[in-house]
A = this chain, B = another copy of it.
Amino acid sequence: MNAERTYGTAAFAALAGVTPRALRHYDRLGLLRPTRSSTGYRRYRERDLETLEEIVALKFIGLPLKQIAAIRRRPERPFAQVLRAQREALEVRRRVLTRAVEAIAAAEVRLGSTEGRSADAIRRIIEVMHVEQNQERLIDTYTTALKTMASRLAAMSTGERATLRQEWAALVEDVRAALGEDPRRPRAQSLLDRWLSLQQAIAGGRETAAAVSATELRAELWARRADWLPPDAARTAEDLSDASEALAHVRALAASFAGDDVLAFIGRAKAARE
């Protein structure tokens, strides 16, 4: 009595919408071990179906079976972290696919117009591919720079941040007042010194600073911000590894950078120095 309903491999596979071979695979990996009949046949129970559905769901979001096994045993990382990392990985793959589709579309246009030859179309793919790879590299550089700045700012005390902000505002004001001056004069050169040391304080290493100060780079990136700026501010703050305060600083920084006249003056002072 109370004999529980069980299923053979094929029946259970059909019930769950997977193949029998997949069930054997999960069994071998230890993901889902059914009981065995006296003759060695696999016997699945009703409650195995819940387990299998979980496995299929985690596979649907692209997790490898090994990681699924780890999560089901006991997650070594909090599930929220797993989900976030996986979502970001999928978003990267989706962007790659988008680039490829764009390259194909460009090649199709080339092929359709004025009896294009396939060699021309392939060349077009190469062009689009290179342009897009450069953009990816710019985005990576800039995103890394932003994260570096955010974490440095987050590591400072409130007082330090306030000081920095004041110094920065003062410097920008002083530069504005000196815009017409000769960039070779000591006055301009001393403004440049202040600029470089503030940049060093916020951005740290030289590469970060360089990435942040390239004007064309920022223009290009801003034009394509939909590609790298997450849609909602909450997520952005999280990405930058700390709180909205750090993000606010980065924004203030970006805003202060936005004055092209100021940047041009600093550029002239740099050019005069060498």
Contact = CB atoms under 8 A, between A and B. Distances in A.
Interface stretch (A25-33, A122-130, A188-196, A214-222): A122-130
Interface residues of A, number: 37
A91 interface: yes
A57 B126 contact: yes
A126 B55 CA distance: 10
| Among A54, A71, A83, A107, residue most surrounded by chain B Cβ atoms (within 10 Å) | A83
A273 interface: no
B87 A105 contact: yes
Give the top 7 A-B pairs by smallest Cβ distance, nearest first: A79-B118, A87-B104, A57-B125, A94-B97, A57-B126, A61-B100, A60-B129
A79 B121 contact: yes
Interface of A is mostly: helix
B87 A108 contact: yes
Contacts of A98: 94
A216 B107 CA distance: 39
Contacts of A75: 118
B125 A101 contact: no
A5 interface: no
